[in-house]
């Protein structure tokens, strides 16, 4: 298996990361774990629009170069997309 990253055959299928770039892309600091729960575990239970809204709420004010207002407006945008989808599809 490569030194850059390998999946373990036993245990919980953890991935060993040897480069900072890989670690950043799998656990970026602007998505902090809350009560030991990784944000991706919550977001993947929602559809695309709701998951993205949750993503922007979760990271609100945490990502360098992005303001809290920007993150909240993006969350609102995805919520509006979801409302439009529900109204269009008659759910």
pLDDT in tens, 2-30: 444 433 344 444 444 444 544 445 565 65
CB atoms within 10 A of CB 72: 15
DSSP label at residue 34: B
- Residues 38-53: tens digit of each pLDDT: 777 778 889 999 999 9
50-87 pLDDT, tens digit each: 999 998 998 888 888 999 999 999 999 999 999 999 99
Q: Place 90 in a pLDDT band, splitting at 50, 70 and 90.
A: confident
User: Residue 52 in contact with residue 78, Cβ under 8 Å?
Assistant: yes
What are residue 7's DSSP bridge partners?
15
Structure tokens at 19: 């480069």
Q: What is the DSSP letter of 42?
A: H
């Amino acid at each position: 298996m490569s030194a850059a990253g390998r999946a373990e055959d036993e245990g919980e299928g953890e991935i060993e990361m040897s480069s900072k770039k890989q670690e950043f892309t799998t656990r970026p600091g602007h998505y902090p774990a809350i009560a030991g729960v990784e944000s991706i575990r919550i977001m993947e239970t929602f559809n695309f629009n709701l998951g993205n809204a949750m993503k922007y709420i979760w990271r609100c004010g945490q990502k360098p170069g992005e303001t809290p207002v920007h993150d909240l407006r993006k969350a609102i945008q995805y919520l509006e997309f979801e409302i439009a989808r529900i109204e269009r599809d008659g759910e």
